[in-house]
Amino acid sequence: MKTDSKTVCELRDVTYVYPGEASGRVPGGASGQEPPEASGAVSTGRRPALSGVTLRVQEGEWLALLGSNGSGKSTLAKHLNALLTPTQGDCTVFGLSTKDLNNVFAIRSAVSMVFQNPENQIVGTVVEEDAAFGPENQGLPTEEIVLRVENALRAAGLLAKRKKPTYTLSGGEKQRLAVAGALAMDTPCLVLDEPTAMLDPQGRRELLDVLRSLHEGGKTIVSITHRLEEILRCDRAVVLVEGRIAWEGSIPGLFAHSDSFRKWGLDAPPLVSLWKELRAETDLPLPEIPTLTAMTDSLCRLL
């Protein structure tokens, strides 16, 4: 990440209460737009989905958004391209408020989203038609669409399958097609909400490889996951617990706080557990981040 980089998305003290969560609790008629204190969402034991979240996504960074189920990851992600707008506080994308309807087109041209279920994101019957859906809706000239689709399918490793029916793709390929669709929109920022959730290990690896090369190419990426093994290449991590930011910092910094993983609701994969135990119980020289390669190198040096 460049140090002088621009801010792509910014949340300032954002609280979000789902409409209906507070219904019937506010004198004079509740609405989801009431401040949570006034709506009684807290006092009735129902917490806002996000509470006082302040966060900046910088141009070119790969940010990992972590947290257990229900911690508010998807709610936060949907703020980044104006699918949701703050109940309290402000969210801007390249300085444009997501609350102003006039900004929504520009915001969605800056931030595209990929969701967790690849099946729900495919609209075309042929691979290249599907990837063309976004740019066609943007009303671009045909030559531009063809070029973008070709580049997007190449980046997602699907160029060879461009003429194939979408139903013939594997789960991993379908999810890469969803990424290609988002890439064809040519937005500077890509937000992925648990994109590997439905994939097998092979599909996961393939998708992470695509993200890695997009990151190297300068794309701003926000990836949401609860799998620690998927964030090893990210620049920064943010941990959400019950709608609040519990921790943020570098990836080595996150692993230095591995004692808090349980409290944060993060499952440590076996490699991370081994790394943690070796760190606690031995003086072995261990890597800062427990990648498979770094751990293998460290342990092989002992032989």
**For tokens 């290609």, what's the residue?**
180
Q: From the list ligand ADP, Mg ion, none, pick the one residue 75 interacts with, judged by a Cβ distance below 5 to 8 Å according to partner type.
A: ligand ADP
Among ligand ADP, Mg ion, none, the one that 52 touches (CB under a kind-dependent 5 to 8 A) is none
CA 1 – CA 59 distance, rounded (Å) = 8
Structure tokens that stand for 262 in this block: 């349980």
Number of Cβ atoms within 10 Å of the Cβ of 267: 12
What minimum distance in Å lies between the beta carbon of 72 and ligand ADP? 4
| CB closer to ligand ADP, 39 vs 75 | 75
State the residues that interact with ligand ADP by CB under 6 A: 18, 21, 49, 67, 69-75
Nearer to ligand ADP, 74 or 220 (CB): 74
How many CA atoms, within 13 angstroms, populate the side-chain half-sphere of residue 37? Answer: 2
Going residue by residue from 64 to 83, which x/- string records binding to Mg ion, judged by CB under 5 A? ---------xx---------
| CA angle centred on 260, ends 8 and 282, rounded to 5° | 120
Least distance CB 113 / Mg ion (angstroms): 12
* Amino acid at position 297, single letter: D
Residue 216 CB contacts under 8 Å (≥ 6 apart), including other chains:
none
- Closest approach of ligand ADP to the CB of residue 155, in Å: 26
- If the CB atoms of residues 48 and 181 are measured against ligand ADP, the closer one turns out to be 48
Q: Which two tokens stand for residue 295?
A: 């751990």
In the complex, minimum distance from the CB of residue 39 to ligand ADP, in angstroms, rounded to a whole number: 13
Residue 53: beta bridge partners? 14
- Positions touching Mg ion (CB under 5 A) are 73-74
